[in-house]
Amino acid sequence: VPDISQQRAILYQEKGEHALALQDYERALEIRRQRIQENLVGISSLNDNIGRLHSAKSDFQASLNNYQVSMSTYEELYGREKDHITKAKVNESIGLTYYRSGNTSKALEYLAHTQLVYKQLLPEKHLLQIELLGHMGAIHEAMGKLTLAEKFFRRQLNWSATVLPVDHPLIITFLDSIYRIHLRMSQTSNVIKIFTGHLEK
């Protein structure tokens, strides 16, 4: 279609019908711009997938490299300074890759930035924010900061209880995280209270 529009524009131009030629040139240009954007989004998405694959294989440097290529493309699309959900999700993936590689401080750095963007751009208690709380709780747990981890897991449970059915599988998973933390803290009586309170909702 853009090729046809461009050829017709040339014919209009040769006939001196400049207004019609300009319309066709601009139409062809817009279509090509859209296709470039679609191609860039597709390329970034593929790099995301490859990054996840490398992370699953524990090839963390290759994973990070793919995520960085993906981020560079998204920055070209959406701007370097402007926050965007898609860019935040790539940062989340980078953070989780650092976590799996054992670099918990770097992981928290990326996830904290993701949390700020989610807070700015997403509705309150969006599922992406709820899932992120669990990731941050898991990292603090891995660092041995059990009290802080419990706070993240508790907030995750409380938020999810407002947007998900009481018997939703995710809520069961979130309850299990709290149970695990309290077992490690030897505070099983607290777990009973939490479970009872949740069942009474």
State in words which class domain 125-201 has.
mainly alpha
In terms of CATH, what superfamily is 1-121? Tetratricopeptide repeat domain (1.25.40.10)
Are 92 and 135 contacting, i.e. CB atoms less than 8 angstroms apart?
Answer: yes
Pull the structure tokens for residue 7.
């050829």
For the chain, the domains span: 1-121, 125-201
Chain centroid to CA 66: how far? 15
Q: What is the pLDDT of residues 5-23, one digit of tens each?
A: 889 989 988 999 999 999 9
What pLDDT is attached to residue 145?
97
Query: What's this model's pTM, rounded to 2 decimal places?
Result: 0.82
Question: What does the pLDDT look like over 50-92, one tens digit per residue?
Answer: 999 999 999 999 999 999 999 999 998 899 889 999 999 999 9
CA dist 5 → 27, 32, 125 (Å):
7, 11, 47
Nearest to 111 by CA among 78, 141, 150, 137: 137
